[in-house]
Structure 1
Amino acid sequence: MCRWLAYAGEPLQPSLVILDAQHSLVAQALDSPLGAETVNGDGFGFGWYPVGSTEGSLPSIYHSVEPAWNDENLREITDAVESPLFFSHVRAAGGPPIQRTNCHPFRYLNWLFMHNGVINGFRELKRDLTFAVDRSLYPHILGTTDSEVLFHLGLTFGLLEDPIAGMRKAVQFVEEIGAAHGIEHPMQGTVALADGATIWAFRYSTEGRSRTLFHSVDVPTLQEMYPDVPRLKLFGENARVVVSEPLNDLPGAFLEVPESSVAVLGPDGNHYEPFMAGAMPA
C-alpha cells in the first residue's frame, strides 16, 4: 500500500537515504519491487526530531499531496536539516482521498506514527473503531485513513506508557471488531512509532503474511564487509534504518524483521521483541 523509512543514529542529512540511496524511498515511490503497488505517488510525508532530541522532544513534520519525486521542497528540507531520528513515508492511496491530512507520518505530542498496510473492511468497521477512541483524543483525528484511527486506538490503549502493549491491544481490538463483522483477516501491515529517542517497528498481519520490513546491519560490520564502498563512511557507527525494502543491493546489508515481531532501535542498542502471543523473535 505504501513504503516507509525510519532512521535513528548520529545526526544525518535525511536526503542521504530518502533521496540519494541506490533504492531510496523516492526511488521506491516510482518503482517498488517488493510493494503491493509498484508506484506510490499519492502524497508523502517527512517527520524529524531536532539534533540533541531525547524522549519527549517535539518533532516537525512536512506533508504534501505531490508525488515525492516531484516536490522540490523535499530536497530543500532534507538537505538543509540534520536529524538523529526521522521518518519518511510515500503513499499509495487505497481508498481514502489524496489530501494532506491523510499523509503520514501522523503526530501526537512527541510521538510520530506511520503505517504500510490496511485494516481490511475498514468501511464496515470504521464506526466501531472510531467510537472506541478516547473522547479526549477524538478531535486529533484530522484525516480519513484507517492508519490514523489505528494510531489513536494505540494511544487510547496505553501506547504512551508502553508502546508495544498499547499497539498490541489496538490490533487485538481491530481483530475482535473485524471478527464480529465477518472480516477474515482484519489487520495487515507494518507500523513505525517513535518518541524522540526510540523507534519501534512492528510487522504483523492476521493471516501471518505481512508487508515486507527490513533493518540495516550495524555500520561497523557493513564497513568491514565493504571497505571499498565510500558511501558507508558517511554514516556513524550507531546509524540504523528500518525500511519497507532494502536501500541497496549489497548482500547482507539488510535483514528481514520476523513476522509478528517488533524491532526496537533505542539509545541502548537494537533488539527484537515478540508482538503477539506465540511469536518468536529471531
Structure 2
Amino acid sequence: MCRWLAYSGSPILLDELLFKPAHSLIDQSRHSTLGVETTNGDGFGVGWYATPASPGVFRGIGPAWNDRNLVNLASTVTAPIFLAHIRASTGTPVQETNCHPFRFQNWLWMHNGSIAEFARLKRDLVLGVDPGLYPAIEGSTDSEVMFFLALTFGLRDDPPGAVERAVGFIEAVAAQHGVDHSVQMTVATSDGTRLWAFRYSTVRQSRSLFYSTDVRALRELHPENAQLLQVSDEARLIVSEPLGQMAGAWNAVPESAYGVIQEGQDLIAGFHPQRP
C-alpha cells in the first residue's frame, strides 16, 4: 500500500509538509507505523496548484528519501494546495506513469489501497471508462483506472456522487467475477479550489486516514507553537499517518466517510457506493 498527505490553506512551502515534521511523509517512506508495509519506496509524486486551473506535478520512480531533485523542489515551491504520495506497489510496474498523483485537466487524484484481483477485472473496468477519456490513461495501475471511472461518472460536476458511482461500478464488476472485498481505498482529489478525501473499503476495515484539528483550536491548546501562527485559520491537513505527536492535533476520518475542505465550513458525510 502507500502513504499520502493533502494540504489546503494559506500558501506554504512544500518543505514544511514533506520534510520538516517529526514523522514527515519522507520519514514514513522508510518507517511507516500504520501502513501495510513499513517501507514505501516504489516511487513518489507531488502535485500543487499555482493557479486552480493549472496544477503542477513532479514524480519519480526512486525512493522519496533519496531524491535530490525533490529536496530542491520542496525548498522552492509554495502553494495553497498540495497533494503528496509515496508508493508501495501492489503488483503493477515501478514506472513514472504509475506514480501518483494522477492529473487530468485541473484535477489531481491519489489513492492508497487496491482493487482486489485487478488483473482479472481490468478489462471490464476499463471498458467502463468514457471513450473520450480513455486515451488520457497513461499507466497500468488500478488507482488510475479508478480516477478515470470517477471522471466518467461525473467527478467534475459532483465529486462525492461520482466516486460513489465509480466504487459501486467496481464492486458490481467484481461481484460478476466472484471477487469478494474488492475495494480498499483512501483517496484524495482536488480541482484546485476544494479538496475531497474518501475512506472506504468493501469489507469496512479501511486503511488509516486522519484530518487535522481546526487551527484556531490548536492555537488555544498550544500557544507556544509558533508554526500555528504562520498558517491561516482555513489551513487543514489530511494524512495517512499523523505527522507528529502534538496533543489534540489529529482526528480519525470515520469509516465509510468523505470530507470536503473548502473556504468556510468544512464537511464530513457518509460514503455510500451506488451500484449500476
Q: TM-score range by the shorter chain?
A: over 0.9
Aligned equivalents of 1:197, 1:36: Cα separation in 2: 32
Give the letter aligned to residue 101 of structure 2. P
Deviation of the 1:77 alpha carbon: 1.1
Q: Are 1:272 and 2:268 counterparts?
A: yes
Q: Are 1:180 and 2:214 counterparts?
A: no
Q: How does 1:218-257 map to 2 (within 5 A)?
A: 218-257=214-253
Partner deviation per Cα, 1:220-252 (whole Å, 9 max, x = no partner):
211110112233333222211100011111121
Aligned equivalents of 1:118, 1:21: Cα separation in 2: 28
2:210 touches 2:251 (CA, 8 Å); kept in 1? yes
Partner deviation per Cα, 1:42-67 (whole Å, 9 max, x = no partner):
100000001xx34xx21000000010
Question: Which residue is equivalent to 1:45?
Answer: 45
Partner deviation per Cα, 1:89-142 (whole Å, 9 max, x = no partner):
000011001000000000000000000000001011000001111111111110
Question: Which residue is equivalent to 1:140?
Answer: 136
Question: Which residue is equivalent to 1:83?
Answer: 79
Equivalent pairs, count: 274
Partner deviation per Cα, 1:69-105 (whole Å, 9 max, x = no partner):
0011111112111100010000001100100000000
Aligned equivalents of 2:90, 2:83: Cα separation in 1: 21
Aligned equivalents of 1:22, 1:238: Cα separation in 2: 23
Give the letter aligned to residue 153 of structure 2. F
Aligned equivalents of 1:247, 1:206: Cα separation in 2: 27
Give the letter aligned to residue 172 of structure 2. E
Deviation of the 1:268 alpha carbon: 2.4
- Across the aligned residues of Structure 1 and Structure 2, the Cα RMSD in angstroms comes to 1.2
Aligned equivalents of 1:250, 1:29: Cα separation in 2: 21
Stretches of 4+ aligned residues off by more than 3 angstroms:
none
Question: Which residue is equivalent to 1:16?
Answer: 16
2:218 touches 2:249 (CA, 8 Å); kept in 1? yes
Aligned equivalents of 2:271, 2:255: Cα separation in 1: 9
Q: Which deviates the most, 265-274 or 139-148?
A: 265-274
Q: Which deviates the most, 221-230 or 210-219?
A: 221-230
Deviation of the 1:187 alpha carbon: 0.3
2:49 touches 2:80 (CA, 8 Å); kept in 1? yes
Deviation of the 1:214 alpha carbon: 0.4
Question: Could you say what secondary structure the match of 1:211 adopts?
Answer: coil
Aligned equivalents of 2:24, 2:234: Cα separation in 1: 20
Question: Which residue is equivalent to 2:89?
Answer: 93
In structure 1, runs of 5+ residues without a counterpart are none
State the percentage of identical aligned residues.
49
Aligned equivalents of 2:266, 2:69: Cα separation in 1: 32
Aligned equivalents of 1:4, 1:276: Cα separation in 2: 23
Q: Which deviates the most, 237-246 or 223-232?
A: 223-232
Deviation of the 1:22 alpha carbon: 1.0
Question: Could you say what secondary structure the match of 1:39 adopts?
Answer: coil
Question: Could you say what secondary structure the match of 2:65 adopts?
Answer: helix
Aligned equivalents of 1:144, 1:109: Cα separation in 2: 19
Partner deviation per Cα, 1:236-273 (whole Å, 9 max, x = no partner):
22211100011111121010111111111011231102
Question: Which residue is equivalent to 2:153?
Answer: 157
Aligned equivalents of 1:67, 1:277: Cα separation in 2: 34
TM superposition score normalised by structure 2: 0.97
Deviation of the 1:277 alpha carbon: 6.6
Give the letter aligned to residue 42 of structure 1. D
Aligned equivalents of 2:230, 2:73: Cα separation in 1: 19
